[in-house]
Amino acid sequence: MKSIMGFMMAALMLASSGCDKDGKPVKAKAVGTVVLKSQLDSLEKAKDVEQAVLDAAAQQKEQIEAGTQ
């Protein structure tokens, strides 16, 4: 029973946090764009690293196959 009440309180707080006193939706602030940009930069770096790992794995596979023939 406590977990249900806790869940309901959390849901109520979440639902009411998206509006200001007048009930109008709160607009995103500029700070969010800075965070988003840094997250996108990190994602791009991760994609570059993934590609480098895939290239190295392909090269290693070719070397192994060439050595076994």
Residue bearing tokens 């977990």:
3
Torsion sign (Cα): 45, 48, 52, 54: positive
Q: What is the pLDDT of residue 58?
A: 97
Q: What is the dihedral of CA 22, 27, 32, 34, to 10 degrees?
A: -130
pLDDT below 70 — which residues of the chain? Answer: 1-2, 12-35
Q: What is the pLDDT of residue 68?
A: 82
Q: What is the pLDDT of residue 49?
A: 97
